[in-house]
Amino acid sequence: MDDRFLAYKVLSKIERDKAYSNIAVDAVLNQNEASSAPFVCALVYGVIERKITLDYYLSQLLTQPIKKLNPQVLTILRMGVYQIKYMDKVPVSAAVNESVKLSKKVKCGFASGLINSVLRKIASTEIELPNTDNKIYDLSIAYSCPENLVTHYVNDYGYIKAEEILKASVGAVPVFLRVNTLKTTSNELIDMLSNEGITAKSLGNGTSLEVVDGGAVFKTESYKKGYFHAQDLASQDCILNFAPKKNDVVFDVCAAPGGKSFTMAQMMENQGEIYSFDLYDHKIKLINDGAKRLGINIINAQIGDASVYNPDLPKADKILCDVPCAGLGVIRRKPEIKYKDFTFVDKLCELQYNILENSALYLKEKGVIMYSTCSLSNKENIEICRRFLEEHKDFKNGGMVTSFPHEKGSDGFFYAILIRE
């Protein structure tokens, strides 16, 4: 099936149903054969990621406000502009002509002339991004980020760091792997992947690799045989600093899909007990399936509400609270996040605090809690931990770390080590 038509279907579903991009992409690609799945994915994620910038370009050439455009026509125009501005391997003629064909295919032929005219002007006109006295507005257009979210980053981290965060929120997304040290070594895995057409490089710590080039790494025999699992570098660093040991009893209270539990099991040399909790059966299945593939047998995955105390559970040496969050550190992976209405964050913070406080009830004396999020928000991170330390004098601060995506190429991430004295 035509790749641009598939991309159009996905984008229309995301706009219409507020669907998650990764779920919508997978659903369409599983139901339809694409000649180039990478092209479909690049076009879909690119249009979502750059939507505000794309609309700015269009607004400079349209005679009517964007809001008055037919939604289908707007989607086609955004796709066309993205191909012209950001996909170097797509000729302008192909971007224009295929957009016109697409309009007719989806019964928007009435707008084919408009689409043809506007896209040709986009290709031939030098449109500069705004440089005004309103820095928030300028950053919003340049990095396709709503002004309220730009303001949030500026308030928490200042203009310079906010712009660095925004720069890192668009463009290529790195793929990091965690070597399964129960089965292989970093160098051995690099060789195995090379034989399967994947180029990966070691990041120097003996357990982390970055995929540099190649195809679908998660369809390789190396993956099927459990020699690695996917895990962002910041998440790996978090667990390395958590440092679970052999024979520890460890809780992972919001565990799915299980990456942090898997890394802890490997660090524990598959000796001890890890209780991995989540709310739903299908998420527990994800954890169990991953543990089986990796050859891990110390993970006890079960349904559990992290905010409600269960007196039947044992005490733990270490507890990981990787709580539900706004996801402001993973926008480049899930670009639709940035267009959300973040009024829900206050309620989310109360849930985060309840999970942290409830988890402390399971902790042994001299035990350690690791509180973490993949969000860049002081309200969700530092303020939660400061409140906890203020209200629980038997705990001390073992350190708080924020990882920014422009520093190591990792996701935005926060963790705090809270030690019971």
Cα(114)–Cα(186) distance, integer angstroms: 54
Beta bridge mates, 179: 228
Active site residue ranges: 374
**Residue 18 near residue 78 (C-beta atoms within 8 A):** no
Place of tokens 């539900």: 324
Cα(72)–Cα(321) distance, integer angstroms: 43
Radius of gyration, CA atoms only, the chain: 23
**Residue 76 near residue 99 (C-beta atoms within 8 A):** yes
In the sheet with 208-213, reading across from the earlier edge strand, the strands are 199-202, 208-213, 175-179, 228-230
Residue 2, both tokens: 């035509």
**Residue 92 near residue 84 (C-beta atoms within 8 A):** yes
Cα(404)–Cα(400) distance, integer angstroms: 13
Question: CA 202 → CA 17, 205, 207, 211, 395, distances in Å?
Answer: 41, 8, 8, 9, 37
Residue 204, both tokens: 């120097």
What does residue 23 show for φ and ψ, rounded to 5 degrees?
-70, -40
